[in-house]
Structure 1
Amino acid sequence: MDHHSPLLVTDKGIRPYIEKLIYGVALFMPLEPLVGDILLWSAIVLSLYDQGRQHLIKRPTGWLSCTVVAYVLWVGVSSVISEHRDWSLVGWLYQVVACGGIYYLMRTYMSEYWQWRIFLQFFLGSALLVCVIGVYQYVFVPNVHMHEWVDAKQFPKLMRRMSSTLQNPNLLGAYLLMVLSVAGSYVLTYFKAKRYEEVYKILPVAIVVFLVMLLTYSRGIWVSFAAMVLYWGIVVERRLLWSLLGIPIVLYFYQGEIAGRLWSLFHGQDTSVALRWALWDSTTYIIAEHPIFGIGWNTFWLVYPDYNYFIQAPVILMYHAHNLYLNMLAEIGIPGFILFMTVIIGHAVAALRLDGDGFRKSAQIGVGTLVVAILVSGLSDFELYSHQVAVVFWQLLGWVGAFMKVNEKSHK
């Protein structure tokens, strides 16, 4: 493994520029998606030119990389067949191809130890900036969308939910959950290895991100974080499982808004819970009528009104099913859903089986934690609908995909 400084590495051609664009995506996508997209597509175009000029474009290596390509292509086929083809193809290009592109960029151009460390620095630095902006908004900026995010009758004391640059508290919570999956894995792994200097570098960021995540007041995200702790307890440190016993104790004695939001999951008085049950029921009819190819990527909001029996008002739009599993099944069909699940679970399982030093092992555990978080939060929402969240998610998968590619080369 090459541990040299990037200043000592001399790459020819445009590869260094592509690498810098990848770092830029990690920094700007959570902060300003327009800038992030410009950097992402610039990197994709440059990489295609670079690979074509050197005649390096080959078939995907490794079965997981093949499943990513198959997933992207299947969603494209589903979009072509869709009754809303034009809209679906635009969504496929903007969302799925872009996510496949960042995965490809990470796997192809992030092949050195120093690159992985720089990426982590940009990733965590961006998260810290998102938190700072969120705190500023939380304190000083009126929350004009509050009535859209909370049932005021059920939660009269809840006057603030943090959204920051993700524009929605649930999406912010999902993004911060991704950050915590990586940062928390590094903290726990380094602490167990008694590498305290490394712990002190990442722990402050993890604490800030955790506190901001609480202020999103997103119940699904909190439950997902508990699932992450359970995963860490199984994979990293068994003693961590004892911390889960403190949750019901804290909820029993603490009667603030956080506790109130969590307890509301267990009764039907909250309109958002009732709406989700009706939404999910209606979505099952979409799946039943389009089981193979689905209705087409990003067309849920166009098709759902024909199946909606809960709210008939035409001004009410549902952009997704608020459930990862149902939304994927509805839009890309059963084969597409299987491919997606194979990709993310496959990366989590394969990452844990890889050898590597403490840095790589921490990242690999982090991606496993990330997948657990997404699968649990996906029970009550579909955060990957967000372009920002989806690109960050696939960039992290590509990060570990780069580890796998290096591992494959070393074995050859």
Structure 2
Amino acid sequence: MAETVPRSDRLQEAARRLVERLFEGERPFGVKFWDGTYLPPSPGASARADVVLRRPEVLARLLDPPLDLALGEAYLEGSLDVEGDLEAVLEALERHAARLSPRHWIGLLREVRGLRAGLRDLGLAARLRGRTHSKPRDRAAIRHHYDVSNAFYRLWLDRRMVYSCAYFPEGDEDLDAAQEKKLEHIARKLRLAPGERLLDIGAGWGGLVLFAAERYGVHAVGVTVAEQQVRFVRDRVRRLGLEGRVEVRPEDYREVRGRFDKIASVGMAEHVGRERLPDYFRIAYANLEPGGLMLHHVITRGPVPSRFSGELASGEFLRRYVFPDGEILPLWTHLQAAEAAGFEVRDVEDWREHYAVTLRHWVRRLNARFAEAAAEVGEARARLWRLYMSVSAYQFAAGHLAVHQVLLAKPDERGRVELPRSRAWIYAP
């Protein structure tokens, strides 16, 4: 009677052949299998990470594109893991993107066809109803991401709780210093002055409105639909004694009414959507005094197209679990909509490399306090944030994403905007 090979061994052998075929001769990471077997990195490679396959069922996920959703969900539940530098793994995957299509490996995965590959419901996916970018649906989408837990965000954000790209002009700043330099940079671009009224659309945990009131003596109004953020900012306003100078309102950007000398929108427009972008700028323009300035800070499509195909990087994982209904658009769409509303574009600055550094700071800080994070929001959600921020850091570094600061002006009735002739004023001490 012929000796049969146990199915677990056949699965491990199929997985090993798959990995070797996909990364022929240049695999910079090792692979740990569920049975303890280890496939080392290619000879001469500088091993910066190990991919860990904890269950053979993870292989069955490869038969169910899009791959970003399949592998992202496997990572959340822990059947797939990365020990070490996750960005190095992403870089290797992109170099070999042409080989990652299922048609290249489907023959190697016959053994896994019978495995159950279903994901247990981790309760992390967004469940939105109604018309896309309607007020109720946008409110639910924002709360899905930002109303996770103030204590969770406090574990790894800077002391001011600024959840957007920091500014590293010297390159050696720590996160607290870099976020403060970002706030100072925005204040200088807006030429804030005592007594002015500042509107911050999407105020987050109040970093900008509090900074502007304390350092520049403005009267600041922040709006956000995230309930936990509103409570957090109001409490901080009381503790800092800034009542009467800082106000936070639980408002959608479409509900804002007032007259403001300056407006800022930092990391909020990604939630607006292409269809609503003209309304967003029109409303901001209507609330801005003639001669006023607006700082529009937004993630945009980067200069380098990804080599991943749609079946490998569909964006479905991020839409389902991280930023539901979020849209990353080319810079020109923002400029076009702003100009159509009446704005004049006065300055554009690309901070792409700064965001890669910011995200790496966040990931390191989250990893350093991962046990506390998991205790606060659950291990799967903590893993979700670690994954999305690591992937985002790689995308900014590789040029697939960018982030732009656009300074807009609303000329007065005579077409004037009071700005110096040189940009030196932004950087002057």
Fold agreement, TM-score > 0.5? no
TM-score of the pair, normalised by structure 2: 0.26
**Higher normalized strand content (fraction of residues):** 2
Tell me which of the two structures has the higher relative contact order, counting C-alpha pairs closer than 8 angstroms and 6 or more residues apart: 1
From the CA coordinates, give the structure whose radius of gyration is larger: 2
TM-score of the pair, normalised by structure 1: 0.27
**Higher normalized helix content (fraction of residues):** 1
